[in-house]
A and B are shown apart, each in its own frame.
Chain A
Amino acid sequence: MRLFILSVIFSLSSLTAFPQSWTLKDVDIYRSFDDFEHILDTQNDTTYLVNFWATWCAPCVKELPHFEEIQKLSKGKKLKVVLVSLDFERQFESRLIPFLNKNKIASDVVVLLDKKESTWIDKVDPEWSGAIPITLVYKGEKRNFYEKSFHSTDELKSILKPYLNI
């Protein structure tokens, strides 16, 4: 019985959209691109909006609120926002986690830590020069790539339009 209650509590807590307060345990850290790659290629009927960013990247930080707005609008829809951080390992505790808490980030956050960037830039998208921020939208085999900053939530809505109503 106790186990049952515990598991109910556990499943309820995992249903919450984001941790009340971020800790390092809430962030999936991928040390190899091979392990990470499924984030860019999950085959189901959900649309994924994936943004590569870092706390040290000013234009990235500036556009994050628009992604968070989309995250709020995604409730009840087959849409998932994933923020892929390229932050440095030595700054996880000192910079990344405090940033997520301060800005009450509710989207999924993962960290890509594969240091051999030249080997995986083309796998993210052959068009990508390597500069961040970048944004990908995909559902199944349909996919779009943007090496640019987004200046409004409406601008993000417009790239999602071919995928779903939002």
Chain B
Amino acid sequence: MKNLAILLTALVGLSFSFVGGGYEVGDTATDFQLKNIDGEMVSLSDFEDAKGFIVTFTCNHCPYAVMYEDRLIELHKTYAPMGYPVIAINPNDPAVQPEDSYEKMKVRASEKEFPFVYLFDEGQKIYPQYGATRTPHVFLLDAERTVMYIGAIDDSPRDVSAVSEKYLENAIMAIESGKNPEPSFTKAVGCSIKTKA
């Protein structure tokens, strides 16, 4: 009977995690094989020396994503040498938002000289597994792909000069010193991910 109760509890828990969708801090994130703007397929396992990954769902068209482009570039320049590369993924369906086509991704990446990979979630298989709901939406993983932090890059999308909390950088520093990031989950305004209804 007790076992049944445990089983039921587990099932309820399972159904809730399906309803919520996506990862929570502590979950192990999936690897993937997605096409980069240079035509090469990229997986997290390709980064052999990585101590973690700044997986960022972002895109071309969303003004909130654009506001963070320069900050993402700086983050990559600072943290990739430390073992934490930015892995940018465009999750949008270009049939719904033509600005986010693979061709336009190449154009934007070259205009901004992205130093990081910019991958296309073709077929939209990956973002639902992560539970990304908006662009930009960051998932910080450790070397074992354990989700360490989910949310915003900092607390002031519209105004870099008004940033008072660098959530993502603080989370990386926490991992570096063997601690759990605090907070490990934040929210930010962004654009919904574009799918065919």
Contacts and interface: CB of A to CB of B under 8 A. Distances in A.
Interface of A is mostly: loop
Contact of B191 (A119, A121, A132): A132
A149 B197 contact: yes
B134 A131 contact: yes
Contacts of B63: 56, 88
Interface stretch (B4-12, B48-56, B110-118, B152-160): B152-160
A116 B197 CA distance: 31
Given A88-B63, A130-B133, A131-B193, A118 B158 contact: no
Nearest to B164: A116
Contact of B187 (A57, A122, A149, A151): A122
Interface residues of A, number: 22
Contact of A131 (B61, B152, B165, B190): B190
A35 B100 CA distance: 36
A129 B158 CA distance: 18
A129 B193 CA distance: 12
15 contacts: A115-B162, A116-B156, A118-B151, A118-B152, A118-B167, A118-B188, A121-B187, A121-B189, A129-B134, A130-B187, A131-B133, A132-B189, A132-B190, A149-B192, A149-B197
Contacts of B193: 131
B-side interface mostly:
loop
Interface of B: 61-63, 97, 133-134, 151-152, 155-159, 162, 165, 167, 186-194, 197
A118 B155 contact: yes
A59 B186 contact: no
Given A116-B156, A129-B133, A58 B97 contact: yes
Contacts of A122: 187
Contacts of B197: 149, 151
